[in-house]
Copies of this chain bind each other. A is one copy, B any other.
């Protein structure tokens, strides 16, 4: 399939596209990004790349990094992992305390903030230097040694991160956080501050299109079954309270971040990353979702 032609056609169609959304405002440092930025990068499993626009510019991947931390935890833990975090969609806004209290400190899934905090707690228990390990993991998957945290962003988020502090304290009260609260929050905010380009992002998660094998280094990262399960969790929980909408319109497993990035996987075919900072009210990139909808429509290639 000529993906470049399709991408070009999408670019053309979107020339008149008006996205009325706003750049994420709750993390001060993220507000400084140029709203009109737009990049796409698609890599097929045989390692061909297709791209558009600002696909080589770094941006804050934010929650997309939760797929990285989940993968790492899933490599280290057996199924007892799922006693501390569920795999069900949350059905409410992405940082709600209600459900967490109702379900006694067990977050619904690893992609809501509470669940990602539990995953951070697990990695801290398992690893000597989790921040360093996670960074090495991202660099290895992407083949890019320039991937790094952005301290300004993590600091900026920490200063307004009271809701996350509320969540973690609530979980601690239920015994579902084992390490020091400050240590876990620090790792969490750092994790979310990773910066990547669309190219790096697509490359990083290509192993999920290949049943767990990273083709760049030709290495199995995770078992077939676990790779499929990460995709399943992305499908059901990857878009805050809009997972249904994304499944409905795009039909691929994926994960978004409030930096305006989205990564999506067509198992057996490709991995694709999109970046456009203006978000809808659910916190997902408007233009990013539109690009992916057009992509699966034009290629008739959703998983359904």
Contact = CB atoms under 8 A, between A and B. Distances in A.
Nearest to A224: B300
A65 to B, nearest CB: 21
A17 interface: no
Contacts of A251: 228-229, 231-232
A109 interface: yes
Describe A's contact surface by its main secondary structure: helix
* Chain copies in complex: 4
B170 A87 contact: no
Interface stretch (A27-35, A129-137, A158-166): A158-166
A285 B32 CA distance: 50
How many residues of A sit at the interface, in one of the four size bands?
35 or more
A88 interface: yes
A279 interface: no
Contact of A228 (B92, B98, B302): B302
A170 B90 CA distance: 19
Interface of A: 86-92, 96-99, 101-102, 108-109, 160, 162-163, 165-170, 172-173, 181, 224-225, 227-229, 231-233, 235-237, 241-245, 247-248, 251, 253, 267, 297, 300, 302-304
26 contacts: A87-B245, A88-B245, A89-B244, A91-B91, A96-B101, A97-B170, A98-B102, A162-B169, A162-B172, A163-B169, A163-B173, A165-B165, A165-B169, A166-B168, A166-B169, A169-B169, A225-B297, A228-B302, A228-B304, A229-B304, A231-B304, A232-B244, A232-B248, A235-B236, A235-B304, A267-B304
